[in-house]
Structure 1
Amino acid sequence: MRIDLSEKTALVTGSSSGIGLAIAAGLAGAGARVVLTGRDEGRVSAAVDSLRSSGAQASGVAVDLAGDAGALLEAEPDVDILVNNLGVYAAQPALEIPDDEWRRYFETNVLAAVRLTRHYLPGMMERGWGRVQYIASDSAVVTPAEMIHYGMTKTALLGVSRGFAKTAAGSGVTVNTVIAGPTHTGGVEDFVYQLVPKDLPWDEAQRQFMREHRPQSLIQRLIEPDEIANMVVYLSSAQASATTGGALRVDGGYVDAILP
């Protein structure tokens, strides 16, 4: 299968590192011009430089999308592919999560994506082609006891995605959610060490984390970011034109169900 995204512009939020950066690299590798975002200007610039060094067409905008997205919308008024990857997470006992944290998680993980979709989707529909994706998580369907506020936001994205897919019905625009399983990123390494002894070497810490906290995984390891990116690149392609309104799993078999 040859995926050609040349002459397409792809915006990936939360893409200065981790899954977002891997997604941007995958889209760029298929020929798209990619736009990266993040709150830290230095990290965004470094990520852009890393992609450009491999020949990618890349630019970046430093912006806090949980607040005012104006700088991004001014710099990139139209895109062909929108990947809503931005998200925050951390372990916290359910009964100790204050109202402000519930609001922060919803603003960052859900409303930021809704606002960008609301802005970019009409133009895609007018042009008769576009791709909108939301990066959810196994936590959308298997609510983690250690961070139910995060799980709630990922569940919400399933409804948001399905709803906007109906809005775009018949337009040539597809809207989907990718359900990512436990993935190996720097942030996840920090999260793992919140749940296992900090003096364990990484390989042992990862095995203990998967054994004690993610035992349902059928691959019995953390997923690599490139493996998530592969699904996103496919869903961004012309070949995925009949896939919309869906929740597609790249979870290593973690979710113990036939359907999401």
Structure 2
Amino acid sequence: MHIDLTGKTALVSASTAGIGFAIATGLARAGARTIINGRSEASVVKSLDALREALPGADVRGIAADLSTAAGVAKLVEAMPEADILVNNAGIYGPEPFFDVTDETWERFFQTNVMSGVRLSRHYLRGMLARNWGRVVFISSESALNIPGDMIHYGMTKTAQLAIARGLAKLGAGTQVTVNSVLPGPTMSEGVKRMLEGAAEKEGREIDEVAVDFVREHRGSSILRRPASVEEVANLVVYVCSPQASATTGAALRVDGGVVDSIV
């Protein structure tokens, strides 16, 4: 299968590292004009340099904006008024006991993980419908279905994304605009690597070994029995954004290594 996104403009929120950067790289490799986003100018410049080194000649640019605020989203859409592909990847996570999670933390997670995608979709989806072609993808998580007891506030936001994506897909009924969610499971992003560095150093082992043990201990239902790579997650997202995925909409697509114990 050859995915060709030449002539399409793709925006990936929070794409200076991890899954977001891998998605941006995959879309640019497929020929899309790709917009990288991060909160700081320095992180955006650094990621653009890395992407241009990996893909010489790729049509890429960057926009620094904090998408956890309405003002940050407004700044981004002013700089990039139209997009054919929107990947809502912005998100934060972190374990915390339920009784210690403050209202401010609930609000911060909701604004970052949910409202960033709502605001961006509200702007870009309108243009996609007018042009009768577009792709919107929400990067959710297997935690949307398996709500973690130590991250209830995070799980709530990931479930909310599924509801929003399903509803938005119905707005595109009968058009060539699709809206889907992608649900990664344990993935070896930079954040996960940082989380495991201490244990690896203490035990004198490689991070990859520690990561495998982490999945087997904390995600015992995993069929893959290891974390996915960011590229493996990005591969599914790039497909969902492609013309070949034209009959897939309103779906919650898992790339979780089989962590969710379900046959559908």
For this structure pair, what is the TM-score category when the shorter chain's length is used for normalisation? over 0.9
Partner of 1:14: 14
The residue matched to 1:51 in structure 2 has which SS? helix
Residue-pair matches, total: 258
Counterpart of 1:58 in structure 2: which amino acid? V
Q: C-alpha offsets along residues 35-69 of structure 1, whole Å, 9 cap, x if unaligned?
A: 01111211111111111222221101111001111
- 1:74 paired with 2:61, answer no
- 1:50 paired with 2:39, answer no
Partner of 2:245: 240
**Contact 1:216–1:255 (8 Å) recurs in 2:** yes
Looking at structure 1, the residues matched to 196 and 220 of structure 2 have their Cα atoms a distance apart, in angstroms, of: 14
Provide the aligned C-alpha RMSD in A.
Answer: 1.4
- 1:63 counterpart (62, 65, 70): 65
Partner of 2:149: 145
Extract unaligned runs of 5+ from structure 1. none
Partner of 1:118: 122
Partner of 2:95: 91
TM-score by length of 2: 0.94
**Contact 1:4–1:30 (8 Å) recurs in 2:** yes
Partner of 2:41: 41
Give the drift of 1:8.
0.4
Counterpart of 2:236 in structure 1: which amino acid? M
**Contact 1:36–1:60 (8 Å) recurs in 2:** yes
The residue matched to 2:202 in structure 1 has which SS? coil
Counterpart of 1:17 in structure 2: which amino acid? A
Partner of 1:199: 202
> In the superposition, relative to structure 1, how do residues 198 and 149 fare at CA in structure 2: closer, same or farther (>3 Å)?
farther
- 1:249 counterpart (243, 246, 254): 254
- 1:210 paired with 2:215, answer yes
Give the drift of 1:192.
4.3
- More moved, 163-172 vs 241-250: 163-172
Looking at structure 2, the residues matched to 100 and 216 of structure 1 have their Cα atoms a distance apart, in angstroms, of: 33
> In the superposition, relative to structure 1, how do residues 94 and 114 fare at CA in structure 2: closer, same or farther (>3 Å)?
same
Counterpart of 2:87 in structure 1: which amino acid? V
Q: C-alpha offsets along residues 139-198 of structure 1, whole Å, 9 cap, x if unaligned?
A: 00001112111111001100000000011111210000001111001111234468x687
Q: Which runs of 4+ in 1 moved over 6 A?
A: none
Looking at structure 2, the residues matched to 192 and 213 of structure 1 have their Cα atoms a distance apart, in angstroms, of: 13
The residue matched to 1:46 in structure 2 has which SS? helix
Looking at structure 2, the residues matched to 93 and 191 of structure 1 have their Cα atoms a distance apart, in angstroms, of: 18
Looking at structure 2, the residues matched to 182 and 224 of structure 1 have their Cα atoms a distance apart, in angstroms, of: 9
TM-score by length of 1: 0.96
Looking at structure 2, the residues matched to 155 and 65 of structure 1 have their Cα atoms a distance apart, in angstroms, of: 19
Give the drift of 1:74.
1.0
**Contact 2:212–2:227 (8 Å) recurs in 1:** no
- 1:133 paired with 2:137, answer yes
Looking at structure 1, the residues matched to 239 and 160 of structure 2 have their Cα atoms a distance apart, in angstroms, of: 23
Percent of aligned pairs with the same amino acid: 52
Counterpart of 1:199 in structure 2: which amino acid? K
> In the superposition, relative to structure 1, how do residues 76 and 39 fare at CA in structure 2: closer, same or farther (>3 Å)?
same
**Contact 1:91–1:191 (8 Å) recurs in 2:** no
The residue matched to 2:140 in structure 1 has which SS? strand
> In the superposition, relative to structure 1, how do residues 246 and 113 fare at CA in structure 2: closer, same or farther (>3 Å)?
same
Looking at structure 1, the residues matched to 190 and 235 of structure 2 have their Cα atoms a distance apart, in angstroms, of: 20
> In the superposition, relative to structure 1, how do residues 192 and 256 fare at CA in structure 2: closer, same or farther (>3 Å)?
farther
**Contact 1:90–1:191 (8 Å) recurs in 2:** no
- 1:222 paired with 2:227, answer yes
**Contact 1:179–1:250 (8 Å) recurs in 2:** yes
Looking at structure 2, the residues matched to 204 and 129 of structure 1 have their Cα atoms a distance apart, in angstroms, of: 43
Partner of 2:30: 30
